[in-house]
Amino acid sequence: MATISPGLRRIFAVAAMMGMGVVQLAGQAYRAPFGADGKPDLNGIWQALNEANYDLEAHIARPAMALRPGPYGPVPAPSTLALGAVGAVPPSLGVVEGGEIPYKAEALAMKKQNQQDWLNRDPEIKCYLPGVPRATYMPYPFQILQSASAITFVYEYAGAVRNILLKDPGPSPSDSWMGQSVGRWEGDTLVVDVSLNDQTWFDRAGNFHSDKLRVEERYTRTSPDVISYEATIEDPVIFTRPWKISMALYRRQEKNAQLLDFKCVEFVEELLYGQYRRRPLNQ
């Protein structure tokens, strides 16, 4: 450690405090197995193990995802009350570098509205495609299928799929929920540029974006069972400057690990269409 400069030591200390130190430090020495094409092998079933999908920013635990004022502080909104502790938000040190998302003032007001009206507005509730980067850290595994000629990400949640285009076709003629992803290798890192529509969110806390969003993702293998994941988020309509999230993605260790069906479309039919039944169930 004597050879490490004080500045670098400070960076390590901050990184360790943010819970990311292990991953980033390990990245210095580790080299991933390479495929026949000489690229690091990202194949596998991966999953984030954090609270990012609840709220990207640092937060203490909250009683529910939708709240109402109570006589001594917020209590769960009536629509979430029945879930009790199951519906609570677990705490997190956050995954946003620097701690806060740099919203423009108007956009921050919209974020707060989103959070208040979470039940009506979060696309996850209606089983809509999650977009990027949210798909990465939802509480479901995803699989990377990589060969020399193709890279595809398949997510268990809603059966979402992304093709990582290895040749840039130019701007997409049609916007999309999972976005157009163009990938390239920078050394041992897979870098993916993503452009999306304005319908997806970042988490269950109302963090959102416009259709000017550009996400640059970086996937680097840092140990046999860990990918270091970073996403730089740029959206001049909503944010004052680009900002970055980072986290570890872990390889699922079960011998028979595989993606199963989570076609949640079926599970939200009662929510979306129950009132149109010939005999609604709640009558």
Partner 1 sequence: MSKRLICATSLGAAVALITLALPAAGQTASKLRMPDGHPDLQGTYDLATMTPLERWPGDPPFLTKEQAEVLQRTEAVRRAKTEGGDEPLPLNRAAPPVGGDTSEPKSYFELLEKRGGGAVGGYNRFWLNQGSAYNQVDGKIRTSIVIDPADGHVPPYNEAARKRLAAARATSESTAHERQDGVAAPPGAFDNPEQRPLSERCLLGFGSTSGPPALPDYFYNDLHQIVQTPDHIMILSEMIHDARIVRMNAQHLPKAIRRWMGDSVGHWEDDTLVIDTTNFNDKTRFRGSTENLHVIERITRVDDKTLLYRFTVEDPDTWDHPWTGEYAWPVTDKPIYEYACQEGNYALGSILRGARRQEAEGAAAQK
Binding residues for partner 1 (CB under 8 A): 35-36, 43, 123, 126-129, 143, 145-152, 154, 158-161, 163, 169, 172-174, 176-178, 199, 258-261, 263, 265-266, 269, 272-273, 276-279
**Which residue, 154 or 191, has its beta carbon nearer to partner 1?**
154
Give least dist CB 108 to partner 1, A: 26
The DSSP secondary structure of 182-199, one letter per residue, reads EEEEETTEEEEEEE--S-
Identify which of residues 110 and 268 has a Cβ nearer to partner 1 in the complex: 268
Residues ≥6 apart with Cβ < 8 Å to 97: 18, 243, 244, 245, 246
Dist. CA 63–CA 89, nearest whole Å: 6
Question: Which residue, 77 or 160, has its beta carbon nearer to partner 1?
Answer: 160
Residue among 6 and 169 whose Cβ is closer to partner 1: 169
Element (H, E) at 249: strand 243-251
Please give the torsion angle defined by the CA atoms of residues 72, 74, 78 and 81, in that order, rounded to the nearest 10 degrees.
Answer: -90
State the Cα–Cα distance between residues 111 and 109, nearest whole angstrom.
5
CB of 157 to partner 1, least distance (A): 12
CB of 103: closest distance to partner 1 in angstroms?
25
Shortest distance (Å) from residue 280 CB to partner 1: 10
Q: By the 8 A CB rule, do 114 and 209 touch?
A: no
Residue ranges in the chain assigned as alpha helix (H) = 6-17, 21-26, 105-116, 118-121, 269-273
State how far the Cα of 268 lies from the Cα of 56, in Å rounded to an integer. 25
Q: How far is the CB of 173 from partner 1 (least distance, A)?
A: 8
**Which amino acid is located at 82 in the chain?**
A
- Check if the beta carbon of residue 229 is closer than 8 Å to that of residue 27: no
**Residue closer to partner 1 (CB basis): 8 or 166:** 166
Q: Kindly state the smallest distance separating residue 278's Cβ from partner 1, in Å.
A: 4
| Nearer residue to partner 1 within complex by CB, 75 or 154 | 154
Cβ 132 to partner 1, closest distance in Å?
Answer: 12
Report how far residue 149's alpha carbon sits from residue 245's, in angstroms, rounded to the nearest whole number: 29
Q: Are 281 and 270 contacting, i.e. CB atoms less than 8 angstroms apart? A: yes
Kindly state the DSSP code that residue 262 receives in the 8-state scheme: B
The residue among 67 and 132 lying less far from partner 1, judged by its C-beta, is 132
